[in-house]
Chains A and B, each alone.
Chain A
Amino acid sequence: MSKEPVAVVGIGQTKHVAARRDVSIAGLVREAARRALDDAELTWADIDAVVIGKAPDFFEGVMMPELYLADALGAVGKPMLRVHTAGSVGGSTALVAANLVAARVHGTVLTLAFEKQSESNAMWGLSLPIPFQQPLLAGAGGFFAPHIRAYMRRSGAPETVGALVAYKDRRNALKNPYAHLHEHDITLDKVMASPMLWDPIRYSETCPSSDGACAMVLTDRAGAARAPRPPAWMLGGAMRSEPTLFAGKDFVSPQAGQDCAADVYRQAGITDPRREIDGAEIYVPFSWYEPMWLENLGFAGEGEGWKLTEAGVTELDGDLPVNMSGGVLSTNPIGASGMIRFAEAALQVRGQAGEHQVDGARRVLGHAYGGGSQFFSMWLVGAEPPDS
C-alpha cells in the first residue's frame, strides 16, 4: 500500500525577537499554533495529534516542557509527542508529524517547535563544567570556526564569501516581517568591518539569539481538499545521523548529510537538484555554511559551492535562491529554526511568502542540522501533489 500524500495547509510563526517578555512559554507556542490553525481555517477540535520539538531542556530549564504545554496546544485527550535532535529538531519534528499522516495513523496533525532563548543562556547550556575536562571552547562559534577554515583550505574559496552570505541573508530578512534582525542600514562594508569573533567568523556572520515559535498543520489528501489556501505537498523527507566525533568524520561535508539529501531526492524523483529545485531554506547559523551545505546537498560539486554564492546564484533573484526568509542568520530560536526552514519552504510553493516570494517556485528544499554536524533532517515540498 502506498503512503498517504502529506500536505501543509497551515503555517504560523511568531514575530521573532530577542526577548518576548510579555508571554510565557505556553503563550509563545500558543501564538504560533493559533496562527497555523487560522491559516488552515481549522479549530483545536480538528487536530488529531500534536508533535512538538525544542532544543535541550537546559536552554530554558523546564524539564519536559511538553507536559505543561498540553493545555496550551489543545492536546488534552490526544496523542502528544516530543522530539529532540539538537539544532535539527524543528525539521525532525515536522518529519515525525508528517510520517504519522503518511502512515495514516492520524488525518491532521499540529506540529510546532519553539525556543525562548531569553529565559536562559544557550552558551552556558552547551558548556557545562564537566570534571577532568579542560575548558577551552568559547561556544558554538569556537566549535564550528575550525571546520570553516578547513572548508576554505579545501575549496580555495576567497575570504569574502562569508560576508556575501551574511549581506544577502540580512537583506532578505528585510522582506520578511517575522524575521528577528531587520538591519535597514546593512552594507557589505559593515559586515566586512564587523569584529572577528572566532576568526574566520565575523560577528555579522553569526546568528542572533531569538525567542520564537513556528507551527504547521499537516494533513492527508482529504484534508488538503478542504483547505482554503493552496497546500504545499511533501515530495520527500528524510533524517540521518552519525556520531559527533569519529575517525574519518568529514565535518566539512558529513556523510549523513549527503545520504539524507540523496534519500530525499530519490523519493522525489530529483536527479539534478541544481536545475529541478527552485530554492532552498538551508540551516546556516554561520555564513560559511551556505557554500558548505550547497556542496553537501548536491547543488554544487565538491569545492564549488562558494562559486554559486559569489556569482549571485543564491540571491533572492538568482536562479537558486537560498534563505529567502533571511535564514538562521537573521532569526534563531534554536529549537524552532529547523521548522522555520521547513515552513518557509512550504510558504514558497504555496505562493504565500509575500515580499520574499520567489516567482514560480514549484519545488523548494527545507533543511536542518544539529549537534556537531551530527543530525540532519530535510524535506522537499512542491506545489503539486506527488505522482501527479
Chain B
Amino acid sequence: MPEVLKAPLVVEFPFTRSLGPVQSAFLTGLRERVVLGVRTADGRTLVPPVEYDPVTAEDIRDLVEVAPTGTVTTWAWNHAPRRGQPLTTPFAWVLVRLDGADTALLHALDAPGPDAVHTGMRVRIRWAAERTGAITDIACFEPYDGDRAQPAGHTGEFEDPVTGIVAAARLDYTYSPGRAQTAYINALSGRRTVGERCPSCRKVYVPPRGACPTCGVATSEQVEVGPRGTVTTFCIVNIKAKNLDIEVPYVYAHIALDGADLALHGRIGGIPYDEVRMGLRVEPVWTEGSRYPDHYRPTGEPDADYDTYKELL
C-alpha cells in the first residue's frame, strides 16, 4: 500500500475574553502588583477568584487582598518546557496557597532542580517587569525564606481597569487525509480524478472517504471519473475572503463529474460570471505545479438536461 500523506496543521487564533467584574479586578490587580481573591458566603477566600459561590451559587463580589507570599501545596517538575510556558529553563509547576487565601493558584516556580522543591516550602511572587493585566504579570514564583508579607487591604477599585484580554491559542496537529483521500490526491497530481465505488449501493464517491456514508461499508474499487462534468448548482461570491487569492466576483459551483454520484465543488472560469447556469458542461483547467484544477471552463457542449443531474445538486 502506498504511503499515506501527512502534513502539519497549525490552528491558531487570538481569542478575546470579556472579563466581567471579578476577573477584571483580579487581572488589573496583578498589573498593580496586588493579588485579589473573593470571600465566599462560608468565609473562605478563593484565589484565583470566581464570580459565583461554589456552594450557594450566589454572586460573589467581596474582593479581598492576599499576600504575594505563600506555601507550595503540591508540585511537579517540568524537565522540558515547551513554547509559551512561563520559563524557558526547567521549572516546577506548583500550586501555591498565598498567605490569606484558602485555595491554591497554579503557576511556575523557578528552582535549580527538583531536589530544591518540596511541598510546604515558602515562596513569593516574582513580578514581571512589564505588566499588562494578565496572569503572566506574575513572571513566576521563587523560593523565599523571609517573613509573611502583609497585604495592604486593597478594595479592588482601580483606575483604568482591564476589561478584556487577548488569549492567543495555538494547536499543532499532524493531519493525515487517510488511505482513500491519499489515493485521490496522488491521482490528481497526474491530472486524473479517481473516486471509489461502494460495493453495496454502487455509488461512486468523489472525493472518496474510504467508506460509503449511506451503507456504512468500506470502499476500495477505484473508478476514474470526468474529466468533464456538469454544473448542477452554484453561487456567485462577491466577498473577498481573507487569505484567499481569488478575485471577486467568482462562481463557486457544484460540479458532477461524468461518472460520479456526488458533486464536488470548484470555481468556474472562462465565461462571464453572470452567464454561468445550471446544466453548463465544463472541464478542468490545470496550472503547472497545482494539485487541483485551477478552475473549470465551459466545454462548448449543449447544456445538460435538468433531469440528468437533478439528483446531483
Contacts and interface: CB of A to CB of B under 8 A. Distances in A.
Contacts of A44: 56-57
Given A21-B164, A22-B20, A128-B9, A134 B235 contact: no
Given A142-B252, A145-B235, A201-B235, A119 B17 contact: yes
Interface stretch (B122-130, B136-144, B238-246): B238-246
B243 A135 contact: yes
A130 B165 CA distance: 28
Contact of B253 (A146, A196, A201): A146
B51 A71 contact: yes
Interface stretch (A181-189, A240-248, A379-387): A240-248
Interface SS of A by simple majority: loop
A24 B24 CA distance: 10
A376 B86 CA distance: 45
Nearest to B290: A134
Interface stretch (B104-112, B148-156, B221-229, B262-270): B262-270
B201 A138 contact: no
Interface string B43-83: 00000001111111100000000000000000000000000
A58 B16 CA distance: 12
A124 B13 contact: yes
Contacts of B212: 246
Interface in A127-150: 128-132, 134-139, 141-142, 145-150
B237 interface: yes
Contact of A146 (B169, B213, B252, B292): B252
Interface in A147-173: 147-150, 153-154
Given A196-B238, A200-B235, 8 more contacts: A119-B18, A120-B15, A129-B9, A132-B7, A132-B291, A199-B237, A199-B249, A248-B311
Contacts of A200: 235
Interface of A: 19-24, 26-27, 30, 44, 58, 60-62, 71-74, 76, 116, 118-121, 124-125, 128-132, 134-139, 141-142, 145-150, 153-154, 195-201, 243, 245-248, 251-252
A147 B313 contact: yes
B205 A76 contact: no
Nearest to B236: A199
A149 B51 contact: no
Candidate in B21, B52, B201, B204 with the most chain A CB atoms within 10 angstroms: B52
Nearest to A153: B278
A130 B205 contact: no
Contacts of A26: 20, 51-52
B167 A61 contact: yes
A139 B240 CA distance: 11
A22 B18 contact: yes
Candidate in A73, A246, A247 with the most chain B CB atoms within 10 angstroms: A247
A42 B244 CA distance: 52
A247 B238 contact: no
Contacts of B53: 71
